[in-house]
Chains A and B, each alone.
Chain A
């Protein structure tokens, strides 16, 4: 025990003497949580719209002002030629072209129907899909307005229609941030945990101090615990900093209990630290460790359900997400923060992540040799 205490003391001393690490530990979460949730927003806004108006009637002007008033579109161009608008798309100055034909108003009044043309830049599929859908619903809305304006009596449309009312559970305002911020917290914990552990141990390899430790009677278990525990504490500290930011900056108050979140985070951290430890047993230089953990982190982030829904992934990708510890914590933290799930609801995830912790740490310990 005395040895372990000294190992821990030494480790904390070194961490607190390294201004780089401290800065990383506190600046990284603050930056990530304050900046990223604003940028990583799925709501498509600021779609650049080019309008080709051949009609120049009051109806066409009404339509255009209704579209721009929606807040989703920015009118970047108002021209008379299709070729001109297409060139705007080619130069990425416009995302969608709305073409209003010359006889728009006349046909609408005389023949009760008229046509509009949409051309969409589909390089960014999400933007193209959502953008044209928004535009279409605005035009439909406009269509309805025009109809009610003309058909004075009967006041109500003779056609039957179904009106849908929906109520949003757990995230009533559909706040995107309430969904993203807890997920980002998980990423933060993962990065701090895996990277710092891996780099710390590899650094000892590089400087040669690990050799000096290896010729001493220090037990493997003590040495490894001496490495894991400080980063476990630091990880939870960073996590707490993140929660404070989420609370006061975004107003996200977990519905479920903090105890549930921390209990899960504690076990999850052991899995992540085990991963860092495992990387360190294979890597010989800090660059190698960095690259390996960077590579893994990319996969972990993209295949965790943080940005994209796992349900819409192909089966093989779903299999990968199941082998990714990040997936479980992101699911759990969203369940607890938004829905108020308790320990009983997350039992399965808890056991799985516990399993990850055992396997990764066990593998790392077996692979760590005091001699080569």
Chain B
């Protein structure tokens, strides 16, 4: 029961001399009904991968299937059964909310009434503004409209490219609630995001960086893989502190993390580090820290280098 399979996909841009490889042989599977997160910074290749899977882009090498159909051979079938919400709002700004929805329903050979139950939760929030032009909606409402339009033909797989980028914290939370309800309806959802904190909301995540997949696991699994001691350190002068942490031989890596610096330890060595920092004259606060996805991501990036 796999909804999406990706097999060694390679995508290159440009010609001859200035070739940029966006995807270096990516492989993974997404199970039916799963909420799968593709987590990585800007330029990691998330959008390229989504465009390959939604049949907008041809990969140079490798194969992929969506809902059992090959993205190259059976692209027509795929277009009937996927929903795609690009990162940039791309509905008709000069058509009203209702006209946009009707339009997308029609070109998928369906009607709004037929699948109203699926979008009801989301659409009912923007229905009071249904005669407003889409371009005049607020960011959060635009996003709801885009999601409604992507769902109007009851897709079996939904691709959401950075749906929460540029959306306020409350709307982000709401949005993930909506995704959970859609998942309950049996829709497979692939969502990409640069926000590490959203990873824990997914069933499984793939960490992606510069076209390579660093790790694929459940959010808990990824955190468990971390396997190193992590310390959080805070002092009056944060910048010299970071420098000092990096110079200590027992510290594998150190990076700013909120109001603390996180120090990844090679072994134990907490006492030595404390003594070292005292000797360097820092007035500091030091405590044990639980690793989260971001720490794992930093760790994986460091190992990758």
Contacts and interface: CB of A to CB of B under 8 A. Distances in A.
A215 B56 contact: yes
A208 B103 contact: no
B88 interface: yes
Contact of B55 (A2, A209, A371): A371
Interface string B147-165: 0010000000000000000
Contacts of A218: 107
Interface of B: 54-58, 75-76, 79-80, 82, 84, 86, 88-95, 99, 102-104, 106-109, 149
Nearest to A18: B94
Interface SS of chain A:
helix
23 contacts: A2-B106, A3-B106, A3-B109, A6-B103, A10-B99, A13-B95, A14-B94, A18-B94, A208-B86, A209-B90, A209-B92, A212-B91, A212-B149, A213-B107, A215-B56, A215-B82, A216-B104, A216-B108, A217-B76, A218-B107, A370-B56, A371-B75, A372-B56
Given A3-B106, A7-B107, A209-B90, 12 more contacts: A3-B109, A10-B103, A13-B99, A14-B95, A211-B56, A211-B86, A212-B90, A215-B55, A215-B56, A216-B107, A217-B79, A218-B107
Nearest to A216: B107
Contacts of A372: 56-58
B80 A217 contact: yes
**B55, B86, B90, B149 pick with most chain A CB within 10 angstroms:** B90
A207 B93 CA distance: 9
Given A211-B86, A214-B56, A372-B58, A6 B91 contact: no
A17 interface: yes
A14 B107 contact: no
Contacts of B102: 6
A359 B80 CA distance: 31
B291 to A, nearest CB: 38
Nearest to A372: B57
A21 B107 CA distance: 26
Given A211-B56, A215-B56, A10 B92 contact: yes
B107 A217 contact: yes
A215 B57 CA distance: 11
Nearest to B153: A216
A207 B91 CA distance: 8
A319 to B, nearest CB: 34
Interface string A212-231: 11111110000000000000
A370 B58 CA distance: 11
Contact of B58 (A207, A212, A216, A371): A371
A87 B108 CA distance: 76
Nearest to A226: B107
Nearest to B92: A209
Contacts of A207: 90, 92-93
Contacts of B56: 211, 214-215, 370-372
Nearest to A214: B56
